[in-house]
Chains A and B, each alone.
Chain A
Amino acid sequence: MKETKESSRRKFIKSAGIALAGLTLLGGGIGYYKSVDGPKFTRKPNFLRPPGAIDEETFVYACIKCGLCVQICPVEAIKLADINKGLNYGTPYIDVREQACDFSCDSLQCVETCPTAVLNFKPFEIAGGNAIEKYNKEHKATNPGFNPFSVQIVAMKSRVRMGKATINKETCLAYHNKGFNGRPRGKDFKGIYRSPDSQTGKPSPLSEKVFDRKICNLCVTECPIGDNAIVMLASGKEAKLRPQVLDGCTGCGVCVMVCPTQQASIIVEPIEEDSHV
């Protein structure tokens, strides 16, 4: 069948019309779904954007879904969202109950590697630089043995604000004056992390560790940030020791991962970090 110019033009206009209608439906549909459902989901506890994430609205389009942050993470905390996760397809998230960010990369590599800076390295760079400057001022004679990285690392990870932990007093063992003995998440749990008392300095499986505590304080002892983030404080009439989350909490979620109760008694509520623009 030979097509005339006229009939092929008509055919093009017809199919272009169908295509446009399809696009409008698709765009409208997905756009509506995302505006209604997307942000709500990311505000669910324990589902966090990786460190340094800019505001969610900009994040969803400026993230090009390459997965470089997924690749570089040594503990494989970051995953790319599938469509059934309610997040934007292909964008990175951390499910801290399954695998928390334990900062064992020591340099926020996921942020550094991001090509579009939706994980924004600027604040960490500044925090690290300031820390070194401050150290040098305080220790006037420059110590030749001084390794600036250790100071920088602490400052950088302390600057992270993925979310903030809150303790569920109803179920927390410490609030019921209970201790904990055994493996917090069972033998088959896959999560790994670098415990503060680790000898090797490398992350190891949580399932390999056996704890024995008179009053459960795993969230406090395993926290990679330490005293600024969560401490055991004496409170109440009997002055019993109970975990208290402080302002230094980065929302890394290691406490959530190690919490031995059936449902984690500590959760991380996501906070959207400051936009860099």
Chain B
Amino acid sequence: MFNNPKKKSPLPAKSLKEMPHYKAGITYKEWHKPKPETNKWRNIRWSVLIAVNGLFVVSYLFGLSILEGSLSGSRALGFYLIDTYNALQVIIISLFDGHFAALTINFWIGFSTILILSIFGGRTYCSWVCPYHLLAEFAEKLHNYFVKKKKIKEHTYSIYLRFVFWIGFLFVALFTKNIVFEDINPVGIISRSLIYGPSLLLLWIGALLLFEIAYSKRFWCRYACPVGATWAITGKMAMLDVKFDLDKCGYCRDCQEVCLVPHTLWFVEKGKATQEVHFTDSDCTRCGLCIDICSGNALNFTIKGMDKI
């Protein structure tokens, strides 16, 4: 964070002799030939996502004290957890409303637990837990298909738009003395609909997905969602990361193609890398799609600093 690799001058692009296929003594085509589809990390991730959300539903259905509540606030084996952005809104209203002292110990425990987790893992929650993510992933596939068929055009916005919403919703909460964001938050709406029965607000989720399919790819997650933006901020120094070895990279850019937040993989382009080793930034959702697809195994999950121990 303090030593921004993006600002350094790039290393010269690798010569042919330095390319991984040359070193292995095979042609580039052979090196880059489509791998048998493993989808290892995707399958693990989808299972985790479905399991976590399923656990909420099962806990309620059968009255088990495993994972009670919903994604906006829950109790895992008796231990409270609270969504960071939701908690931030409560804190900010309480501060100005003079009720700050009334916030409970359980509230602070829940808030700080998720906060600490996000400092360690950044936006991992987004692709591993968030139920809207799974729907949006399918919407993204559909969107890509339509773009490829030239039925629709792509519309992109600035990724900094998130922070406008992030601050904006905090202000809205403050002025209305109401957590207005929760009324349109897809994470909470889907989670509550799964657990406590469908809400009319699912219509809004449907509209959002349609918009993402027909107009702008992954609009909500990329440009709007303050929940994910919170963890993009707190996860600046995240230890859990995707590590990139320039040495093993063949400049094919397959990873950027599948990446859900392609701007975090800026260093895979030829002549862009500034270091031999790069880590994805805090916008990375650690979904593992790039790891699955990489021909040279140049990308891997890592916990920064573990090798030093």
Q: Nearest chain A CB to B7's CB is how many angstroms away?
A: 15
Residue in chain A with minimal CB distance to B162 = A19
Q: In the complex, which residues of chain B have a beta carbon less than 8 angstroms from the beta carbon of A62?
A: 90, 93-94, 99, 102
Q: In the complex, which residues of chain A have a beta carbon less than 8 angstroms from the beta carbon of B106?
A: 115-117
The stretch that binds B, out of A25-33, A148-156, A236-244, is A25-33
Contact B158 A15 (CB under 8 A): yes
Residue in chain A with minimal CB distance to B102 = A277
Q: In the complex, which residues of chain B have a beta carbon less than 8 angstroms from the beta carbon of A89?
A: 182-183, 199, 201
Contact A12 B175, CB 8 Å, known A23-B169, A62-B90, A65-B192:
no
Contact B157 A15 (CB under 8 A): yes
Could you say which of A16, A28, A277 contacts B161, with CB atoms under 8 Å apart? A16
Contact A64 B68, CB 8 Å, known A31-B176, A90-B188, A116-B104:
no
Q: Nearest chain B CB to A153's CB is how many angstroms away?
A: 21
Contact A61 B93 (CB under 8 A): yes
Render A88-100 as a binary contact track against B, CB cut-off 8 A, 1 for contact. 1110000000000
Contact B165 A276 (CB under 8 A): no
* B contact face: mostly helix, strand, loop, or mixed: helix
Could you say which of A34, A80, A83, A115 contacts B178, with CB atoms under 8 Å apart? A34
Contact B60 A60 (CB under 8 A): no
Residue in chain B with minimal CB distance to A16 = B164
B273 at the interface (CB under 8 A from A): no
Residues from 180 to 201 in B contacting A, C-beta threshold 8 Å:
180, 182-184, 188, 192, 195-196, 199-201
Q: In the complex, which residues of chain B have a beta carbon less than 8 angstroms from the beta carbon of A66?
A: 69-70, 72-74, 82
Contact B168 A23 (CB under 8 A): yes
Q: Nearest chain B CB to A124's CB is how many angstroms away?
A: 15
Residue in chain B with minimal CB distance to A70 = B196
Contact A67 B69, CB 8 Å, known A80-B192, A83-B201, A84-B200:
yes
Contact A31 B192 (CB under 8 A): no
B97 at the interface (CB under 8 A from A): yes
Contact A26 B172 (CB under 8 A): yes
Residue in chain A with minimal CB distance to B64 = A71
Could you say which of B98, B110, B161 contacts A15, with CB atoms under 8 Å apart? B161
Residue in chain A with minimal CB distance to B63 = A71
Contact A71 B99, CB 8 Å, known A12-B158, A89-B182:
no
Q: Nearest chain A CB to B281's CB is how many angstroms away?
A: 18
What separation, in Å, do the CA atoms of A170 and B244 have in the docked complex?
A: 79
Contact A90 B180, CB 8 Å, known A83-B200, A116-B104, A117-B102:
no
Contact A90 B192 (CB under 8 A): yes
Could you say which of A8, A68, A82, A276 contacts B199, with CB atoms under 8 Å apart? A82
B50 at the interface (CB under 8 A from A): no
Q: Nearest chain B CB to A134's CB is how many angstroms away?
A: 28
Q: Nearest chain B CB to A71's CB is how many angstroms away?
A: 5
Contact A67 B70, CB 8 Å, known A26-B172, A26-B184, A61-B173:
yes
Q: In the complex, which residues of chain A have a beta carbon less than 8 angstroms from the beta carbon of B94?
A: 62
What separation, in Å, do the CA atoms of A20 and B184 have in the docked complex?
A: 16
Q: Nearest chain B CB to A64's CB is how many angstroms away?
A: 4
A58 at the interface (CB under 8 A from B): yes
Q: In the complex, which residues of chain B have a beta carbon less than 8 angstroms from the beta carbon of A57?
A: 177
Residue in chain B with minimal CB distance to A64 = B73
Q: In the complex, which residues of chain A have a beta carbon less than 8 angstroms from the beta carbon of B171?
A: 23, 27
B179 at the interface (CB under 8 A from A): yes
Contact A83 B199 (CB under 8 A): yes
Contact A68 B68 (CB under 8 A): yes
What separation, in Å, do the CA atoms of A276 and B94 have in the docked complex?
A: 14
Q: Nearest chain B CB to A93's CB is how many angstroms away?
A: 13
What separation, in Å, do the CA atoms of A30 and B185 have in the docked complex?
A: 14
What separation, in Å, do the CA atoms of A193 and B201 have in the docked complex?
A: 32
Contact A31 B178, CB 8 Å, known A12-B161, A64-B82, A83-B201:
yes
Interface centre among A12, A79, A84, A115 (most CB of B within 10 A): A115
Contact B196 A80 (CB under 8 A): yes
Q: In the complex, which residues of chain A have a beta carbon less than 8 angstroms from the beta carbon of B60?
A: 67, 70-71
Residues from 216 to 268 in A contacting B, C-beta threshold 8 Å:
none
Q: Nearest chain B CB to A21's CB is how many angstroms away?
A: 10
Residues from 43 to 88 in B contacting A, C-beta threshold 8 Å:
59-60, 63, 68-70, 72-75, 80, 82-83, 86-87
Contact B176 A30 (CB under 8 A): yes
B116 at the interface (CB under 8 A from A): no
Q: Nearest chain B CB to A94's CB is how many angstroms away?
A: 14
Interface centre among B158, B169, B200 (most CB of A within 10 A): B158
What separation, in Å, do the CA atoms of A11 and B75 have in the docked complex?
A: 43
Q: In the complex, which residues of chain A have a beta carbon less than 8 angstroms from the beta carbon of B177?
A: 31, 57, 60-61
Contact A27 B164, CB 8 Å, known A82-B200, A277-B101:
no
Contact A68 B172 (CB under 8 A): no
Contact A31 B104 (CB under 8 A): no
B303 at the interface (CB under 8 A from A): no
Contact B72 A64 (CB under 8 A): yes
